[in-house]
Amino acid sequence: MGLPGVPPPTGRDDLGAYHCHDQSVTLGQYFRARSTKMFPRIYEDADKDYFGKLSGHSMFSKGPMGVTIHYTAGRNLRSSIEALKAAGNAYHVVIDRDGGVFQLVGFDEGVWHAGRALWQGLSPNRTHLSVALMSWGKLSKIKEGAYLSWIGKAVPSSEVVERRGGCWDAATQPQEEALMGFLTWCVYHGIDPKHICGHDECAIPAGRKCDPGGILSVATPLIREALSCEIRKLPSV
């Protein structure tokens, strides 16, 4: 499975097509205007107090500058939300196995998602949007054809890939396509591809985290390269 293709800009504002960021509007204003409009919220009434406290708590001063890619270390939306709440964390966006894209907090709000981390000299918690793919992530290989998640749940061998030094609960093609759609939307609206990274690239110390790792069919440096090529095709504004 190769890198999904990226559709050209057509002047629309959804994830199926993209347009150049209006230079008269700051990036912060742009994302703030869309902070509650892009995707369905996945949390239930019981979660409103938690995510409500995040709203406006730590606003991006100049809009988001980058994106950090994670995996959820689970396959269930409900349990993933509970894990985030227990840890005091959040993601801006979660991508389900079928490619469904769900939003937890506004795109103008900074959230704690990367722990101790640094990318391009800045903390991703203060400057990046965060996107997490629904996946167990790195797996343990018990024997040939037998794999377990970090909580000991068996993962079918048909859903496992062995690459980049490990065994992984592979992202689905719809997930990869949704991820590239979201990242391309961000890039077309002003985020520099060099500020897109994996959690494994920005975590301190090096090696502390392994997401997204091998769940993706291409490594994050190649994603940055592909997005840089796309942005160079844009007309001057």
In a domain, 157, yes or no: yes
Q: Based on the domain organization, do 166 and 203 belong to the same domain?
A: no
Q: What is the CA radius of gyration of the chain?
A: 17
What is the rounded CA–CA span in Å between residue 51 and residue 130?
15
Q: How many domains does the chain have?
A: 2
Contact 66, 127 (CB under 8 A): yes
20: in domain: no
pLDDT at site 33: 43
The pLDDT of residue 18 is: 28
Question: Within a domain: residue 237?
Answer: no
For residues 159 and 196, membership in a common domain is answered with: no
Q: Which residue shows structure tokens 């939300």?
A: 81
**Which residues 6+ apart lie within 8 Å of 106 measured at CB?**
31, 32, 35, 36, 55, 92
| Prediction pTM value | 0.79
Three-state DSSP at 212 gives: coil
The predicted pLDDT at position 15 comes to 34
Contact present, 105 and 38 (Cβ < 8 Å): no
- 17 in any annotated domain: no
Q: Which domain holds residue 214?
A: 27-135+172-232
End-to-end CA distance of the chain: 35
Give the three-class secondary structure for 96.
coil
* Residues comprising the chain, all counted: 237
Mean pLDDT by 10 residues, the chain (237 residues): 34 32 39 45 53 56 86 88 83 88 79 89 90 96 94 95 94 92 86 94 93 94 89 56
Nearest-angstrom CA–CA distance, 235 and 237: 6
